Amino acid sequence: MAKIARALDREPLRIVMPDLIGLGLSDKPWSPRFHTLENHAEHVGALCDELGLSGVILGVQDWGGPIGLLAFADAKRKKTLAGLVVLNTAVGPPRPDSRPRNFIASRGCRSFPNSPSVCWISAELARLRAGRSRFDQGDVSRAYRWPLRRITENAAPLALARMVPDSVAHESVAGLVRCAA
């Protein structure tokens, strides 16, 4: 998204790119109960309301997809939408026969509700297994790691992983159904 924003830099647009609560340079709430699809959508929606946005072209990716779509699912905000750009995200609930993958299904993701160290350790192990990527080098690597440099600031990444449905009964499914609608 940052590359897209840079490419549009000279256009007569207002670009708003908020960090999700708990990620980037935002506040880092510790409680896993804070990090639900509905709570994140409500915060994004409240920001949009506060800014008085209209003619919105909503660009979303990863968890920003369900969060952004759910934020704009209410009738008032839906009227402010002029378009959608949806990249690399889910916009609906899992199929009944789908299975969660790797970390999402692991005990490390679903256990230890107050332990961001599990997320940090699991992320480091996944990174080591995957080998080095272009994101593991220099300034780009430091920029990605900087907001999560303290182990106590890793509650959100673990909570976001837990927001991924591991069954059709998962608490995120109701919000994902609204996103699809």
What confidence score (pLDDT) does residue 63 get? 86
The number of domains in the chain is: 1
Each residue of 104-134: pLDDT tens digit? 555 555 554 444 444 444 555 445 445 555 5
CATH of the domain at 50: 3.40.50.1820
DSSP for 52-71, written as a single string? T--SEEEEEETTHHHHHHHH
User: What's the distance, CA 8 to chain centroid?
Assistant: 23
What confidence score (pLDDT) does residue 118 get? 47
Intervals of the chain under pLDDT 50? 112-121, 125-126, 128-129
Which residues form the domain of 136? Answer: 2-180
Each residue of 168-178: pLDDT tens digit? 888 899 999 99
C-alpha 91/C-alpha 68 separation (Å) is 10
- Which residue has tokens 């800014």? 51
What confidence score (pLDDT) does residue 5 get? 83
- Long-range interactions of 24-28: CB distance < 8 A, separation 24+: 24/147, 25/147, 28/152, 28/153, 28/155, 28/156
